[in-house]
Amino acid sequence: MPFGFDEFIVKEPTIAFRVLIDRYNIELREAQKIIDKGRLICNNRTITAKNERIFGAMKVLRFLPKSKGLKPIFRTKDFMVYDKPSGVLVHPNKILTPYSLLDEIRTFGGENANGVHRIDMETSGLVLASLNRDSEILLKGMFEKKLIKKSYLAWAKGKTKEEFIVDKPIKIRQNYDNSKHKVEINSAGKEAKTKFTRLLYNKDIDATLLKVEPLTGRTHQIRIHLFHMKHPILGDPLYGTSFEVAEAYLEERLSIEDRVKFTGAKRLMLHANTLEFKLKNQYFIKSQVNFVDVLLCN
């Protein structure tokens, strides 16, 4: 379990946030966040007041990374790049999440390292992580300003056009009674635009390998846009399958055999392939994974 209690003794009355700053060498902002989340306990009492003077037996619920040995493929003094495997979350979505990429980021980058963007759990490929607070703020700001260019590779069902752009707004769905799609094409949604370029068509499996360039960054944007074009991504258990298959997947009842049968692959065939940005120097990062072989070896 990546979260656990750090237990220690404070002998002299000390302001609560100062206890955390001194213990972990963190900024005031981070100390306040720990208190706000109810993760500081003094003498079996949860501390809620940041300025309260406390002493005695302390327990702090902390993220305690446990590495599986996944190392960054590129590193500078400011950031790291990981080639994330399919099936791994970038950040834990709850305290009981057994493993995420953050375990590796914190193991190899230290307590102040953090992922600065996310890709879906089942999407493989490049994830950028900052190594300090300054670079985290800078890189997150660059993503927001679209100063970091990303491209993906995707295996889509059928033979697509050589090049096409999908410019359809996306809205988060609130009701899943009739569909398990997380998002939908909806005029009331947010602007979403994706460019697709055909790289090759494999007639043996009736699938197209696409270069994908998201020009906006919406939830499930690539997946819903390809589904809208009637070329869902191979291995996608939500977009392009029946309600029953999607429900079985979400309830973890869908076997690998059935997933291959109904979706064409045992994993989502989407890979974050390139990152391009300028940070003090020009960097161009490309994954070493041969995504063509990923599908053909499944």
Q: Residue 71 is encoded by which pair of tokens?
A: 């190392």
Q: Are 130 and 77 in contact (CB under 8 A)?
A: no
CA distances to 35, 59, 101, 214, 268 from 191, rounded to whole Å, are 37, 46, 29, 12, 24
Q: Residue 17 is encoded by which pair of tokens?
A: 């946030």
Q: Please state, in angstroms and rounded to a whole number, the distance separating the CA atoms of residues 44 and 143.
A: 42
3-state secondary structure of 269: coil
- At residue 40's C-alpha, the angle toward residues 39 and 41, to 5°, is 115
Catalytic pick among 6, 103, 120, 236: 120
The beta strand positions in the chain, using DSSP E, are: 3-15, 40-42, 45-46, 53-63, 74-75, 79-84, 114-115, 124-130, 149-157, 163-167, 170-172, 183-185, 193-202, 207-214, 270-279, 281-286
- If one counts every other C-beta atom within 10 angstroms of the C-beta of residue 39, the result is 20
Q: Is 36 a catalytic residue?
A: no
Q: Please state, in angstroms and rounded to a whole number, the distance separating the CA atoms of residues 21 and 41.
A: 15
Sheet order of strands, 53-63 included? 3-15, 53-63, 40-42, 45-46
- At residue 168's C-alpha, the angle toward residues 195 and 85, to 5°, is 55
Q: Catalytic amino acids? A: 120
